[in-house]
Amino acid sequence: MAERRRSGDSWARSLAALRTGPAAFLARAGADALASELLSDLRGERLSDYTKVSLLAAIQEFAPQLWSEPASAEDAACELLDTLALLPPRPSALHRPLLLAVTSVLAACGALGPSSAATGRLLALLLRAASRRAAGPEQRALQATACECLRELESCRPGLLAGRLGLLRGLQAALGTQPHRLLFALALRNALWALGRPGAAGLQGLLTGPPGETQAWDWTLEAPGAPQPGPWDWTLAGEALGPGAWPEPGPGPLELQPPEARELRAAVSQLLDASYLLTPPAQARLLRQLSQALRAVRGQPPALLKPQLVRLLGTARLSLLHAVLAWKDAFGEALFTAQDEALLLRRLVGAAQHPALPAPARLFYLHCLLHFPENWPLGPADEEGAPVLLTPGLAAGLLPSLLQEPPDLLGRLRLLCLLCGEEPGPEAQALDYLQGLLACLRRGAAQPGAPRSSATLCFRASYLATRCLAGHPAALARLIEGLADLYRVRPCLAPHFVDLLEQAGPVLAEPLGKALQQVAVAGSGGGPALRWHLQILTKVAGSQPLGPTLAFLRAAMGQRGAWGREQALLRVCRALLRGKGLGGAAPGALANLLQELARGLDDPDGRDRARLYYGLFTHLSAPKLGSAMGPALSTPMPGSSLVEENEGFTAALTVQEARAPLRLSRVPQQAKEPPVVLGLAVEASEVLYSLELRFRVLGPHYEPLEAVQVPCLRPGAFPKLLRLPLEPRRPYPAVLDISALYATPSGLTCHAQLPQLPVAFADLFLPLPQSSAEKSPSCAFQELWASCLPGGVESCMWGPWRGQALEALVARHWEPFVMAATPPASYKVAIRLPPSSRLLLQLEAAGEDGVRVALRTDDWAVLPLAGEYLRGLGAAT
């Protein structure tokens, strides 16, 4: 109980622990216990408001962890709303955090929806708070929070507020605050998107709905006896889950009637005119949403947006310029003429190189330049490219220099590469500049003791450059020469070289591999560099001439050394075995080397491996050797032979999941007395041993079924017939879930799931026991008929069987059950339904019109099933 009475300090410690590691803390404390403790302490009066605010912040932030089920979240939200109702009417520090917490709990835990009572209470309360005329800072702050909560709910369930558009429009016009404007803009966009879906049409007068009455403020946000508003309209609200229902424009633009379109334009203009009054991030959002709203409607020219452009283009705010670029992307030439496009591009160039702006902002503008939404793009949409209008002259100030920070330098280098990548010509100067820059970066990375970041920068720059140097062989040769020199000076950069060889395409990898092999076999850097040379050779030796590598390996073998070096030697050998340089006279030398390794290595495991390589090399042809040495593409190579061995062993011991190699089909079967028997035929598509078929009846109305064993099944053999006895507890249809367990000829045990099998109502029919010989069948039937009432029920229906149809029907479906008949006009049918019910039918042909069917049963629950069954027969004819 001590835990139940936490003090403020204790809560502060607990919440800090919760923040540091929510999963571990909740596992220790129990999510349910903590959640209920949080809720009860919020209601209590021991804790200060300050502590309660921190509890609410935790609820808001960790709601999904505290209430993983929508039902518990719904309860928690109700409890929080009750707490809110209990607050004194004067403003307190708890009002706003409580609203935020309830909203978060409902929206984040999946409880938001038409069936949630808390949702209804919260929406009504928020709308009330948002529509009062606020006086004083506390009321305004609470109102802003209410609007923000509504906006978040609308974000999580787009279309939620579509039915209140008129009210929201009225509010933003009357109260004119930023939160109201943002709320209306979002609701408007989402509503237009929702209306664009198939089946919806027009704005349906939503925009001109009843204006909101702004009443005087009432602090009792939720008075206990306050009248609840009418039911919420959820028709346009998207589904809570599922990407398909997520806000996106409908398949085609929405068609609006001219008056509706006028209303929409008026509403958008009003918001645009006031956009200057919003904070820059809010403006950016509003501008984006309004452009999306306009795009959702057919025939709405974006000219409305134009008056804002000059103001926005002039600003230094990243989010506003980003919003303008989004407009450019959305409307293209409809909003930006060729001159406008040129101006926007020049502004962007200016911003991307403006020394007064922070470096990350400049880099973002540079990124925007490389993805500039051109009116008439030449390249593919999602790829980086320099816009046509961006000439080397215009971009001169955007090119990289050595003194820039690495991200800056790389971003600009990308642009430089794009400018060089074009046809050789006036860009020659840019190409020279690029090469000079790369040389400087290599010089920096070559410095002894240079930080790894300088090497990383150099290799990233080289990687970017190779992508554009493919068309400039001379420049590529210089780059490769420079990189080989860098390796000669600092072999410890080998991992970077291996990475570059892997990432860069064959344009660089092949010539660079050759150059590196030459440097490596020359053995520069002496003993300490040996491990790096071996690493490089592992990568490149396979595709290079064998001789120099073998000579180098032989020399390296002389330097007896650590296990690591021996392994590295073997790795190079393996690369050689996999490689394509095995022709000519060299193979003998390689075999000799492997033999020497098998004798000379210190490590016994290493010697074994060398021997294995030797054996494989001398016995397998080249393609087989390649596949034996290389990892298979489909299965990852196991880390050790033990793992590999174990995998086979484990497979033999465990049951494998498989696709069913057998088919079950129904065979008609008629039992004379209980139990009901289901006839099945089993066919296999491959040989199966010890097959066990397991049946499970879905639902509670049958006794469990025994498994059926089949010793052996062979494909092509006559299907095996099975009789499956059913013991219903009630005479209802059912579905059988079937699985099979069997052994394969290779010794594996497999489990397979088979398609489900329905048991129909008619499958349960049994004939009634023969009555005593002295009564006529007709009398016996009449007795049965009479005995059904009053405990049972009676019904009658009309069957559409004319003429001979009735006779055929009876012959086909009820022959074993007919007790008395005067063919072809009248039949009396008695059916036993296990375990203990009866169904009696009297069928009388009524001329050409059809058949009158009277039915009685002693079990009222059978009546709907019987009716359905008979209607099914009627439909079948």
Rule CB under 8 A: which of 303-362 touch another protein? 310-311, 313-323, 325-326, 329, 343, 346-347, 349-351, 353-358, 360-361
Task: State which of residues 8, 70, 209, 495 lies at the interface with another protein (CB under 8 A).
Answer: 495
Strands 132-133 and 215-216: parallel
Q: Which residues of 588-620 are buried (b: 16+ CB within 10 A; e: fewer)?
A: ebbeebbeebbeebeeeebbebbbebbebbeee
Do 386 and 342 meet the contact criterion of CB atoms below 8 Å apart?
Answer: no
Region from 195-203, 394-402, 667-675, 846-854 binding another protein, contact rule CB under 8 A: 394-402
Nearer to another protein, 277 or 555 (CB): 277
Interface with another protein: number of residues (CB under 8 A): 136
Closest CA to 664 of 701, 694, 635, 633: 694
Residues 395-434 that bind another protein (CB under 8 A): 396-397, 399-403, 407, 410-411, 414, 416, 429-430, 432-433
Residues 499-538 that bind another protein (CB under 8 A): 499-500, 503-504
Task: Provide, rounded to whole angstroms, the least separation between the CB of residue 53 and another protein.
Answer: 8
Nearer to another protein, 434 or 691 (CB): 434
Binding pattern for the stretch 228-247 against another protein, x by CB under 8 A and - elsewhere: -------------xxx--x-
Task: State which of residues 126, 363, 693, 736 lies at the interface with another protein (CB under 8 A).
Answer: 363
Inter-CA distances, 192 with 92, 158, 164, 170, 293, Å: 38, 10, 13, 18, 6
Task: Provide, rounded to whole angstroms, the least separation between the CB of residue 402 and another protein.
Answer: 4
Region from 279-287, 687-695, 706-714, 787-795 binding another protein, contact rule CB under 8 A: 279-287
Please work out, in degrees rounded to the nearest 5, the angle formed at the alpha carbon of residue 474 by the alpha carbons of 473 and 480: 85
Distance CA 690, CA 712 (A): 6
* Chain-centre distance for alpha carbon 161: 27
| Element containing residue 830 per DSSP (H, E) | strand 826-833
Nearer to another protein, 175 or 840 (CB): 175
Helices (H), 741-829: 777-787, 805-809
Q: What is the DSSP letter of 185?
A: H
Q: What is the DSSP letter of 470?
A: T
Radius of gyration over every alpha carbon of the chain, rounded to an integer in angstroms: 41
Handedness of CA 131, 132, 135, 141 (dihedral sign): negative
- Position 648, amino acid: G
85: three-class secondary structure by DSSP: helix
Tokens representing 266? Answer: 């008026």
178 binds another protein (CB under 8 A): yes
Task: Provide, rounded to whole angstroms, the least separation between the CB of residue 512 and another protein.
Answer: 12
Distance CA 394, CA 373 (A): 18
Residues 87-116 that bind another protein (CB under 8 A): 96-97, 100, 103-104, 107-108, 110
Nearer to another protein, 416 or 629 (CB): 416
Task: State which of residues 227, 258, 276, 528 lies at the interface with another protein (CB under 8 A).
Answer: 276
Task: Provide, rounded to whole angstroms, the least separation between the CB of residue 84 and another protein.
Answer: 16
Task: State which of residues 39, 130, 366, 420 lies at the interface with another protein (CB under 8 A).
Answer: 366
Task: Provide, rounded to whole angstroms, the least separation between the CB of residue 458 and another protein.
Answer: 9
Nearer to another protein, 368 or 684 (CB): 368
Task: Provide, rounded to whole angstroms, the least separation between the CB of residue 441 and another protein.
Answer: 8
Tokens representing 275? Answer: 């956009």
Residues 440-479 that bind another protein (CB under 8 A): 440, 443-445, 447-456, 459-460, 462-464
Distance CA 319, CA 108 (A): 27
Tokens representing 317? Answer: 């705010």
169: three-class secondary structure by DSSP: helix
Nearer to another protein, 306 or 317 (CB): 317
Task: State which of residues 281, 426, 527, 631 lies at the interface with another protein (CB under 8 A).
Answer: 281
Which residues sit opposite 735 in a β-bridge? Answer: 698, 758
Binding pattern for the stretch 47-66 against another protein, x by CB under 8 A and - elsewhere: -------x--x--xxxxx--
- Position 692, amino acid: E
Strands 734-743 and 749-759: antiparallel
Residues 753-792 that bind another protein (CB under 8 A): none
Nearer to another protein, 4 or 311 (CB): 311
Residues 553-582 that bind another protein (CB under 8 A): none
Nearer to another protein, 355 or 526 (CB): 355
Q: Which residues of 156-187 are buried (b: 16+ CB within 10 A; e: fewer)?
A: bbbbbbbbbbbbbbbbbbebebbbbbbbbbbb
Nearer to another protein, 345 or 754 (CB): 345
